[in-house]
Structure 1
Amino acid sequence: MPSENLKLEPVGENKKNIDEHSGLLDTGGTNRNQSEEDYDPHLHREVESPTTNAETLIHLLKGCLGTGILAMPEAFKYSGMINGIISTLLIGFLCTYCLHVLVRAQYVICKKMRVALLTYPESMKVACEIGPTCLRGFAPYAPLVTDFFLIFYQLGICCVYIVFVGVNLQNVVNACLEKNISLTWFFLAIFVPFLAIICIRNLKLLAPFSVLANIITFVTFGVVGYFVCQDLPPFSSLPAFGTLFNYPLYFGTTLFSLQAVGVVIALENNMATPKKFRGAFGVLNIGMGLVIVIYVGMAMMGYWKYGDQIQPTVTLNFPPDDKLAHATKILYSIAIYISFGLQGYVPVKILWDNYIVKKLKSDSKNMLYEYMLRFGCVILTFILAMTVPLLGLFISLVGAFCLSALGIAFPAIIELCAYWPDRLGPGKITLWKDILLIIIGIVGLCAGSYSCIYMIIQELTK
């Protein structure tokens, strides 16, 4: 059986409506408008174990407050202090806006198709089919491309989490034992616990763990604040702006830190009251507002304290013989470990529902095959983490390559197509706005990926 908590596929009779009602999209006038107005996708969702608004907010905070926040001070080293503060606020607003664009556009498409739910890949496919003629030839390949980016992104996050936990445990143990134990041994030591948490199949069951992780996270932030706010150097000693070549590294790390598109879609789809997700004081705005403020504060203070000596995660800058520093590293590693269950859930769900379960002829061994998939994802992420244990650069690469597409360009494409051709606003403002977002996404992907890959090669060939 597939995981039970998220219904990412259109359900029941709505499944076949994707094809049956496609003709409504190409006919103008009253029939189409009545078809859309009398159908509310939210009322037709069938979700087992839906999450409350509070649980959704908790998951959203935990999905965003991961390793990226402790990598943000290093990102400011690439951008410069003033540029980093302004850029992080702007990128945070951009990420939040694009999430709104995506959720709203998916809702519009679901109304047109008269289906309760569409996954992100399905939304891309339908959007290309109903959008401008130049995109329709891409429609058959849109789900595969979208799934590729989603899976790469989520597995990349899992790799980063593994490296973070391994590196911080190595730092603590080696300092306490005054030895130099290889990072490989720490990867092997944490392998079984990571296998265990990926076996949790119901997102609702992860909610209590996410509460614990959030408590640990905020306690850890307090301790981090204690370390970074002491003996601060003159603010004027820090460069206001970084180099143009390094800015894509900052951009990728910030996108990785702030954007959680895969988790956001899953959370909205799994809500008991999805209409509360958006809105001025909805779950999305409240959660992202808190996240942006925390990120700017942590990045600014960490870079202010350590300057160019900042490490890929600020915890590695803490005094090596300080017991409070050791406790902080261990506690936050526990929080990141818990987050692995949430982040690892998404690629497993995509692979299982879209590519594996449909090809299985017997239900008797489905559970076994699903656990084999879960174990396989963990094994793959550990192999990648052990191969390229460059935490900061890996974070930036995943952010630049995946989230420039998933978090900026693709939502703009879906919105453009959802409102095509006669709902683009005065002067077709939606069209021009979405074209600008697509350009930003493409430039961020190309420039960020090139800079990260170049730096990774430089580091590995030293």
Structure 2
Amino acid sequence: ICDHFVPTKKFEVEVYCGILLLPLILITQIRHLKFLVPFSVLANVCLVVTFGITCFYTFTDLKPLENIEMVASVEKWPLFLSTAIFAMEGINVVMPVENEMAKPQHFLGCPSVLNVTMVFVTILYGVVGIFGYMKYGEGVLGSVTLNLPEGENLALTAKILVAVAVFFTYCLQMYAPMDIIWTRIKCRISKNYFNISQITLRTLSVTLTVILAVAVPDLELLIGLVGAIFFSTLGLLIPVVVQTVHLWERGLGKFSYILWKNALLLVFYFIVLVSGCYTAVSEIILKFR
């Protein structure tokens, strides 16, 4: 985006990461979930507009189905699984959101806030994924907005809105880990140093993520690795273990179907973890060799 508006000056990715470090540190200092809601709403509006713009481009001149490779090579399947699991990125805010709701009983059930939201999100993922691949094929990038035309104002608007949305949802993604870490360590810190300790903790955490972004600037490689390690653990392993332990004495259903279901999920978790990590690390090594 900056290269388009200021073509005479070319900066490395590291420079942009450094520029964003201070704003990210400042916005992450917001410690209450209710104050993060306006940022989340603004980010969602940006993403909806971006979705519309992306659909405008992807639905134009779609490739015939016979010209599209419908099934990728087996070597790419682990990376796909890791990327798909990365789509569960919002799972870390599920419990904090439920705890902060005025009527938490409406979060689960049928219909519920979670069900309606996930149906909507799944449709969005499906439309962007399927038609994005139909449009750009094997050339599709880590974010389909990166495939949009370089010099068109509408495409630039989409890229700007995505950047704004990611920026404003960053503090929301940091809320859960910061809350968990602070709950564990605050008992060892004097109340007189609570404020400065929280500021330091959040500053160091943001700085660490920025350093990671500088070290691995390729989005698709990072998505695969993070999805394979962290989101597979958070979305598959931990729920399986917690549910099994919780229901062990209470009963695991008829024919112990919950146990069998969780066993299959556990096997799937190890497949994603091992194959996804191997593929993602291999791609990273190949990229920087």
Please state if 1:178 is matched with 2:11.
no
State, as a whole percentage, how many aligned pairs show the same letter. 34
- Of 194, 214, 221, which aligns to 1:386? 214
Task: Report the Cα distance in structure 2 between the residues aligned to 1:441 and 1:265, rounded to whole angstroms.
Answer: 22
Q: Deviations over 1:369-411 (max 9, x none)?
A: 1001111111111111111111101011111111222211221
- The structural deviation recorded for 1:422 is 5.2
The letter of the residue matching 1:210 is S
* Mapping for residues 233-248 of structure 1, pairs under 5 Å: 233-248=63-78
Question: In 2, are the aligned partners of 1:194 and 1:378 still within 8 Å (CA)?
Answer: yes
Corresponding residue for 1:63?
none
Corresponding residue for 2:204?
376
Task: Report the Cα distance in structure 1 between the residues aligned to 2:200 and 2:182, rounded to whole angstroms.
Answer: 11
Please state if 1:448 is matched with 2:279.
no
* Mapping for residues 100-179 of structure 1, pairs under 5 Å: 172-179=1-8
Please state if 1:280 is matched with 2:110.
yes
- Of 290, 295, 300, which aligns to 2:130? 300
Question: In 2, are the aligned partners of 1:409 and 1:439 still within 8 Å (CA)?
Answer: no
- The structural deviation recorded for 1:345 is 1.4
Corresponding residue for 2:234?
406
Task: Report the Cα distance in structure 1 between the residues aligned to 2:15 and 2:91, rounded to whole angstroms.
Answer: 33
Corresponding residue for 2:21?
191
With normalisation by structure 1, the TM-score equals 0.61
Which one has the largest radius of gyration?
1
Question: In 2, are the aligned partners of 1:249 and 1:451 still within 8 Å (CA)?
Answer: yes
Question: In 1, are the aligned partners of 2:58 and 2:135 still within 8 Å (CA)?
Answer: yes
- The structural deviation recorded for 1:445 is 1.1
- The structural deviation recorded for 1:259 is 4.5
- Of 215, 228, 238, which aligns to 2:45? 215
Task: Report the Cα distance in structure 2 between the residues aligned to 1:193 and 1:262, rounded to whole angstroms.
Answer: 23
Structure-2 change in CA distance of 1:259 and 1:190 (3 Å):
closer
The letter of the residue matching 2:24 is F
Q: How many residues align?
A: 288
Task: Report the Cα distance in structure 2 between the residues aligned to 1:195 and 1:422, rounded to whole angstroms.
Answer: 45
Corresponding residue for 2:285?
457
Corresponding residue for 1:224?
54
Structure-2 change in CA distance of 1:425 and 1:288 (3 Å):
same
- Of 252, 255, 262, which aligns to 1:424? 252
The letter of the residue matching 2:224 is S
- The structural deviation recorded for 1:177 is 2.7
Corresponding residue for 2:182?
352
Structure-2 change in CA distance of 1:340 and 1:422 (3 Å):
closer
With normalisation by structure 2, the TM-score equals 0.95
The letter of the residue matching 2:146 is L
Please state if 1:433 is matched with 2:275.
no
- Of 306, 323, 327, which aligns to 2:153? 323
| Secondary structure, counterpart of 2:74 in structure 1 | coil
Task: Report the Cα distance in structure 2 between the residues aligned to 1:199 and 1:425, rounded to whole angstroms.
Answer: 44
Per mean C-alpha deviation after superposition, the further-off stretch among 422-431 and 341-350 is 422-431
Q: Deviations over 1:242-262 (max 9, x none)?
A: 122211111111111135221
- Of 204, 209, 223, which aligns to 1:395? 223
| Secondary structure, counterpart of 1:364 in structure 2 | helix
Corresponding residue for 1:24?
none
- Of 137, 157, 162, which aligns to 1:332? 162
Task: Report the Cα distance in structure 2 between the residues aligned to 1:275 and 1:242, rounded to whole angstroms.
Answer: 43
Question: In 2, are the aligned partners of 1:405 and 1:442 still within 8 Å (CA)?
Answer: no
Task: Report the Cα distance in structure 1 between the residues aligned to 2:156 and 2:254, rounded to whole angstroms.
Answer: 58
Per mean C-alpha deviation after superposition, the further-off stretch among 341-350 and 174-183 is 174-183
- The structural deviation recorded for 1:241 is 0.9
| RMSD over aligned Cα atoms | 1.4
Q: Deviations over 1:10-63 (max 9, x none)?
A: xxxxxxxxxxxxxxxxxxxxxxxxxxxxxxxxxxxxxxxxxxxxxxxxxxxxxx
Task: Report the Cα distance in structure 2 between the residues aligned to 1:291 and 1:422, rounded to whole angstroms.
Answer: 34
